Structure 1
């Protein structure tokens, strides 16, 4: 399998098969100087005007030597190595456009600054935070992407006794919400929306395409570990552009401890100032990559693992992440076949890792529940009741009413739908079944997606 999913765009000109799609984003002419600047810098120095590596590593190193609460020196070094591998993978990729490089650099440097600011704030207020903040028995939703994780997470977060992070809390980390403060009038909402509105203005089509399968909003509850990764200079969104070597390295077990300690500290800080009445609810497909590490760091975690027939679901994640990858690429360089293979290679770990861990640790089954896609979408509230019954929690009448209201206002496909197939991403479902046979057999999946959803 190639390191990058791209192809030389000169070889795709005139192709009508659909394998090499054009960019659905039409960048504003106001961004033309970005191309000129990059062209000039390359002519003078041989390198892009928007290289990531040095800037990202400098920002990662700014907090200096860290207290052990952020991880051991080895854990931090592993994390830094992953940051470097991500950044150099992007810098060496010849198929990212100048505008794409500028946007990627802006995104990841801004979030590394979130990390710097958070660590500084935490250390200055550590006594108060650790006296008042709790992150006990979190309810975590994970599984292969596009398996119902978002619906379940946002439904579970309708429990008024729970707490789950708003997007703006992770986009703009400070100052934390205070107890009694109305989160929906927070100044950071405007800042988060301003960033997205700017992207919509200068890159029309980007947000609209993303919202067809995953609604982004400053006031929605969003993926926790995904943001913790981005804060630390890693990515499970733009990892494809960094290359297969980075993708697989970032998913190894030793990359998890410092990330999960950062997550614990982040939510301990949030809870100290605006505590959850009962429990925290977080969601991220990435948890499944580090399934055993979840229980190493959060020994009291309660985990919901979502499932959907891989023969149906593999092209779904490829289509979603195509919409977030292609805007950054050189026109004509995107290869759907290679992209689909990389997506399956990487995200297939979210089928494999939980299955292997659970087989080796049956004592953890009291803390884990499965949620199969068809069951979830047939009756989402019944699935929530099953989860609460499993973990001996009560579904209150207020919680029921809030779930009904959420479902009424957020019908599936409200913001459009992605269309996709295994064929367009060259996914051979029989080969997929044979590679992940234990998973297919465990959940009675077949190679015919029509039999499932």
Structure 2
């Protein structure tokens, strides 16, 4: 049967992207809310309404640097005009936007109370980049196993600053973890297939693109919603405000929970950075870039499938062919920009990791990265990473199925678009 019970294990992901899985209660709620919408009731995404809700939620007013306002307005217009959200999807989107604004307010208040946060040094970060579906998640989680490594946890990505700046540390952390666990449970219920595509764990490392989202200048919206005008607008904007804001959030996280030891450092990870390596290296000039590589013939359909499943959480109108066209273009742009930056700054700033080597001998790959960045290999790190490998078993949430043709693409399309990348890195 296509419909499944709550949290039932699925042997393989659906490829019927045009008909996203929808729990019965969500379908009924959408039907009811559409009926109310026909009588003049609609979930508001108006800028002033969102800000007022964030102010009421936090009791705060200061949103910090105003550079977020224009991208927020462009995004809100795109969501209204292009995203084709179902009512519950629109409600969830409103809540996410309010939460983003509330986090900005809480960060300003935290820094006001603790000004030494801005003196925290984010030194020598290791930044994992690569086209999506190239092994970045496994590599990220292996590095995160090392006690000297500081990564962004999923619960921190959702709540990077205390909900109550005056609250007790342990109690605050428990609240934030609980919120993330509820979000994980909700996603598992609404989109059980998604966990076979990209596992989500409230306590596991998460992509720092979610911190860039706080500046309303990230690829998160276009990954989960249909917002082509926002996506195209964003490509022409200076990303410096977003990366500076991300650094400020990292400083606050480091102040809250520092990495310890002589060789302690952050490991960051998101494919988003490929498009903006020049800005990243301006803001983090001593970063080492770890670039993962895999045959684009495998990468492109896998990532398109992830996007289709993600958009299906919020919309009943998912066009896989549109996703294929837009994200092949996007992937090509990301690779071209990244390769141009690499030529300018020099290959010595980069560590290349091939997917096959990572799958075959992951500990040797991680050891090479750590030693390259001045971190001595330790028995404790190796033991912790072996424990991680035992839990990070492929297909543990089901088999991720995908075909290039599902997205209106043929092998020649991928070859033509990414031939320059394949030739340069022999993948």
TM bucket, shorter chain: 0.7 to 0.9
Shift of 1:186: 3.4
- Partner residue of 1:115 out of 104, 129, 141: 104
- Indicate if the aligned counterparts of 1:238 and 1:325 stay in contact, CA closer than 8 A: no
Give the match for residue 45 of structure 2.
51
Q: Give runs of aligned pairs for residues 356-367 of structure 1, distance below 5 A.
A: 356-362=340-346, 365-367=347-349
Give the match for residue 4 of structure 2.
none
Q: Matched residues in 1 for 2:183 and 2:21: separation?
A: 20
Question: Which stretch shows the higher mean deviation, 238-247 or 182-191?
Answer: 182-191
1:227-276 per-residue CA deviation (whole Å, 9 max, x = no partner) reads 1133334553441534222113224450x211111111111112223221
Change (3 A) 1:63 1:150: farther
- Partner residue of 1:417 out of 399, 402, 410: 399
Q: Give runs of aligned pairs for residues 126-205 of structure 1, distance below 5 A.
A: 126=115, 128-131=116-119, 133-175=120-162, 186-200=174-188, 204-205=189-190
Give the match for residue 25 of structure 1.
22
Shift of 1:310: 0.9
Q: Matched residues in 2 for 1:20 and 1:221: separation?
A: 28
What is the SS of the residue equivalent to 2:197? coil
Q: Matched residues in 2 for 1:371 and 1:183: separation?
A: 40
Give the match for residue 402 of structure 1.
384
- Indicate if the aligned counterparts of 1:108 and 1:230 stay in contact, CA closer than 8 A: no
- Indicate if the aligned counterparts of 1:307 and 1:372 stay in contact, CA closer than 8 A: yes
Q: Matched residues in 2 for 1:183 and 1:154: separation?
A: 26
Shift of 1:205: 4.2
Q: Does 1:92 align with 2:81?
A: yes
Gaps of 5+ in 2: 1-14
- Indicate if the aligned counterparts of 2:78 and 2:228 stay in contact, CA closer than 8 A: no
Change (3 A) 1:374 1:323: same
Q: Matched residues in 2 for 1:243 and 1:187: separation?
A: 32
- Partner residue of 2:266 out of 268, 275, 280: 280
What is the SS of the residue equivalent to 2:193? helix
- Indicate if the aligned counterparts of 1:112 and 1:233 stay in contact, CA closer than 8 A: no
1:7-40 per-residue CA deviation (whole Å, 9 max, x = no partner) reads xxxxxxxxxxx776312122416x7455444543
- Indicate if the aligned counterparts of 2:50 and 2:97 stay in contact, CA closer than 8 A: yes
- Indicate if the aligned counterparts of 1:237 and 1:324 stay in contact, CA closer than 8 A: no
- Indicate if the aligned counterparts of 2:147 and 2:381 stay in contact, CA closer than 8 A: yes
What is the SS of the residue equivalent to 1:135? coil
Give the match for residue 349 of structure 1.
333
- Indicate if the aligned counterparts of 2:128 and 2:269 stay in contact, CA closer than 8 A: yes
Give the match for residue 5 of structure 2.
none
What is the SS of the residue equivalent to 1:49? coil
What is the SS of the residue equivalent to 2:133? coil
Give the match for residue 422 of structure 2.
440
Give the match for residue 7 of structure 1.
none
1:351-399 per-residue CA deviation (whole Å, 9 max, x = no partner) reads 222111111222xx32211111111111111111221232232111100
- Partner residue of 2:242 out of 240, 245, 259: 259
Give the match for residue 338 of structure 1.
322
TM-score (norm 2): 0.85
Q: Matched residues in 2 for 1:219 and 1:342: separation?
A: 32
Q: Matched residues in 2 for 1:192 and 1:309: separation?
A: 34
TM-score (norm 1): 0.81
Give the match for residue 104 of structure 1.
93
Question: Which stretch shows the higher mean deviation, 306-315 or 32-41?
Answer: 32-41
CA RMSD of superposed structures (Å)? 2.8
Change (3 A) 1:80 1:315: same
Q: Matched residues in 2 for 1:192 and 1:310: separation?
A: 33
- Indicate if the aligned counterparts of 1:59 and 1:116 stay in contact, CA closer than 8 A: no
Q: Matched residues in 2 for 1:57 and 1:175: separation?
A: 19
Aligned length: 401
